[in-house]
Structure 1
Amino acid sequence: MSPKTYLITGTTSGIGLALVKHLLSQSSSQNNVIATGRNISSRFPQDIVSAYPNNLRLLELDITADLPTLQSKAAEAWRLFPGGRGVDVLFNNAGMSAMKSCEEASEEYISQMFEVNLFGPMRLTQAFLPLLRNKTKSVVAFTSSSTAWTPLPFMGHYASSKAALSTYIESLAKEVSPFDIKVVGFECGGCVTSLGQPREQQQQEQEQHGGLLEQRQETVYREGLGRLVGMFMRDAMAYMPGDAAKVAKTMVEVIQKVDKGEKVPVRLVLGSDAWESVKQKVEETGEVLEGWKGVSWGTGRDGVKGGAEGDYLRAVSIL
């Protein structure tokens, strides 16, 4: 395959860093990588920078910046490698998480969660689309979460932001397909990374690890939160079976399939735990739909046949 240039957000740890390592290790393809983040120069591993002077560039980028700033960063990224080939794959990987009850979450907490997990990736994608439309082929990828399907209690804000992101991914894929831009979202299960650390501590895009379990909160929901945290604490690794290096390798392999024109789902579940929990959710949703069909269909106007038109069903299809 011809070399590609990837711009990846959230690269100082977890899946983002694993993506950088895997891409640069593919000696046969000679991929170029633009690793981004806040304070990236001081936080990115210097041994990797030294090992790949020709194929790696660091770009200071805060995904919560406003659209004009991100447009400027997109233009800067486009010029980082010689030849003016720009970026072939935009990988929106950055994310953050924490536990908080729906009642007790502050506006600042909620805003930050959605800025990092949803609005930032949306704005960054918006900044890159005019540039990507002028290429013959490009990919926009996202790291989402299986909790978009299966929200846990006390993680409602995280799950909501990821559910919104996954919905956005579906719509985006349909909008940009006429421009030869492919879109794929990876809905990951538990993986040993650093997600769950407050952004002030990690300072940048997080992934998913023990910080999620170590938070101590004064809360009227202590009993329910304690049960959930206790479930994880009994055997934390059992709830995080994913290997970040294998996740990254799989993501790259899927993107390469897209590049070769193979058919790939727009939303792809990664992880055995994710697969089982999503399968349960789909089956339970089917049961609810069938069991309550009479109630659902009973709300139509008299004289109307009911149901969705074929063109509508085609427009919302995930296949």
Structure 2
Amino acid sequence: MTSQTKPLVWLITGCSAGFGKSLALLVLKAGHHVIATSRTPSKSTSLVKKVEALGGIWLPLDLTSGKENMQKIVDEGTKKWGRIDVLVNNAGISILGALEDFSEQEAKLVMETNFFGPVRLIQRVLPQMRARRSGIIVNISSGAGVDPSPAMGMYGASKWALEGASQGFAKELSPFGIRVLIVQPGAFTTNMMNAVTMTEKDASVNYKGTVVEKMVDVFRTNGEFKAPNDVEKGCQGIFEVVTGTGRGVGKEGYSRLVLSRDIGQRTLEQTKRNTDALEAFRDVWENTGHDGGVVKSMAEIESEAASA
């Protein structure tokens, strides 16, 4: 299904700024339908009117709310156009600081917003996608989901969790014709880069003079963070890959979209570190099997189940 066959219905979270805002407007201008959401639409009245003028609808959605509220959003959006073809989990938050300094409340807020909320929303959308045997789940991860920088460990943990769930969903949903795409942006000039908060416990107390303190200071003192990547170009890439048009033609089988040159390089470096470690400990992992017997690996079991 592409933009060249029929309009898709997109449910996009976090549309008040950044990727959500740009993607919603791009999708609408391309002739698709959009259910835009944000936690507090009243703070984005002019943008809400613009989306509605282009034919979209805007609904309030707090990702930390329960599944009942999410079901209402899905039901209302489905009532408007009869279906949801694409779910884009874009909304998220970032709290910066040393992992040691995170309170349990801060950690739970990050995980609730960036992991549990998206998973709950996916669960609400899946029944209709599975019934139609079509649909696309797009989870916006981060470069922190590849290799988190110091002070971004908790944010990275939430994105790693989302990526793990995405891989699980991808394998479970492929028999139903449902595609899952993980998008890994690097540093883009969005409001999120300037809207991050810090842990209540100041990183400079225990990490003074370290890279953690320096990373926190970049966001604390820079005022307006200038990132190297253009959001509009990033959204155009997402759109083409999701719709199978332009640079996305014939690439529907891929589940990861690295979205910037900086993360492309970090991915290559992280892959090399993983490969180097694999080789360094080959004599360990090649010698953990039971003696005198052959037991099937999980990969073999999975392969047999898939081909049955």
Report the secondary structure of 2:131's partner residue.
coil
Deviates more, 1:1-10 or 1:145-154: 145-154
Are 2:6 and 1:17 aligned?
A: no
- Whole-angstrom CA distance in 2 between matches of 1:280 and 1:304: 38
- 8 Å Cα contact 1:146-1:187 kept in structure 2: yes
Partner of 2:244: 257
Partner of 1:204: none
Are 2:85 and 1:88 aligned?
A: yes
Q: How does 1:140-159 map to 2 (within 5 A)?
A: 140-159=137-156
- Residues 91/135 of structure 1: CA separation in 2 closer, same or farther (3 Å cut): same
- Whole-angstrom CA distance in 1 between matches of 2:8 and 2:50: 20
Are 2:206 and 1:220 aligned?
A: yes
Are 2:278 and 1:289 aligned?
A: yes
Deviates more, 1:241-250 or 1:50-59: 50-59
- 8 Å Cα contact 2:166-2:180 kept in structure 1: yes
Q: 1:174 aligns with which of 167, 171, 175?
A: 171
Q: How does 1:97-136 map to 2 (within 5 A)?
A: 97-136=94-133
Are 2:195 and 1:191 aligned?
A: no
- Whole-angstrom CA distance in 2 between matches of 1:271 and 1:32: 27
Quote the offset at 1:296 in angstroms: 2.4
- Whole-angstrom CA distance in 1 between matches of 2:279 and 2:226: 31
Quote the offset at 1:77 in angstroms: 1.5
- Whole-angstrom CA distance in 2 between matches of 1:292 and 1:307: 22
- Residues 212/248 of structure 1: CA separation in 2 closer, same or farther (3 Å cut): farther
- 8 Å Cα contact 1:241-1:271 kept in structure 2: no
Are 2:42 and 1:53 aligned?
A: no
- Give the gaps of 5 or more residues in structure 2: none
Are 2:59 and 1:73 aligned?
A: no
What amino acid is aligned across from residue 128 of structure 1 in structure 2? V
- Report the number of matched residues: 298
- Whole-angstrom CA distance in 2 between matches of 1:87 and 1:284: 40
- Whole-angstrom CA distance in 1 between matches of 2:121 and 2:23: 19
1:249-296 deviations in whole A, cap 9, x for unaligned?
110110001897743421221110000001000011101110111122
Report the secondary structure of 2:58's partner residue.
strand
- Over the aligned positions, Cα root-mean-square deviation in angstroms equals 3.1
Report the secondary structure of 1:184's partner residue.
strand
Are 2:9 and 1:5 aligned?
A: yes
- Residues 243/313 of structure 1: CA separation in 2 closer, same or farther (3 Å cut): farther
- 8 Å Cα contact 2:194-2:219 kept in structure 1: no
- Residues 51/230 of structure 1: CA separation in 2 closer, same or farther (3 Å cut): closer
What amino acid is aligned across from residue 265 of structure 1 in structure 2? Y
1:70-103 deviations in whole A, cap 9, x for unaligned?
122211221124xxx2211111111111211111
The structure whose residues are more often helix, as a share, is: 2
Report the secondary structure of 2:100's partner residue.
coil
Quote the offset at 1:17 in angstroms: 0.5
Deviates more, 1:182-191 or 1:232-241: 232-241
- Residues 280/51 of structure 1: CA separation in 2 closer, same or farther (3 Å cut): closer
- 8 Å Cα contact 1:141-1:185 kept in structure 2: yes
Report the secondary structure of 1:299's partner residue.
coil
What amino acid is aligned across from residue 290 of structure 2 in structure 1? R
Partner of 2:36: 35
- Whole-angstrom CA distance in 1 between matches of 2:131 and 2:257: 27
Report the secondary structure of 2:205's partner residue.
coil
1:180-239 deviations in whole A, cap 9, x for unaligned?
2111110111111122xxxxxxxxxxxx347469x9655211222233346789999998
Partner of 1:276: 265
Report the secondary structure of 1:86's partner residue.
coil
- 8 Å Cα contact 1:189-1:271 kept in structure 2: yes
Report the secondary structure of 1:90's partner residue.
strand
1:22-70 deviations in whole A, cap 9, x for unaligned?
11222xxx21111101121x12352562475362101111111112221
- 8 Å Cα contact 2:40-2:60 kept in structure 1: yes
- 8 Å Cα contact 1:192-1:244 kept in structure 2: yes
Report the secondary structure of 1:223's partner residue.
coil
Quote the offset at 1:303 in angstroms: 2.6
- Give the gaps of 5 or more residues in structure 1: 196-207
Report the secondary structure of 1:80's partner residue.
helix
After TM superposition, the score normalised by the length of structure 1 is 0.83
- Whole-angstrom CA distance in 2 between matches of 1:183 and 1:73: 21
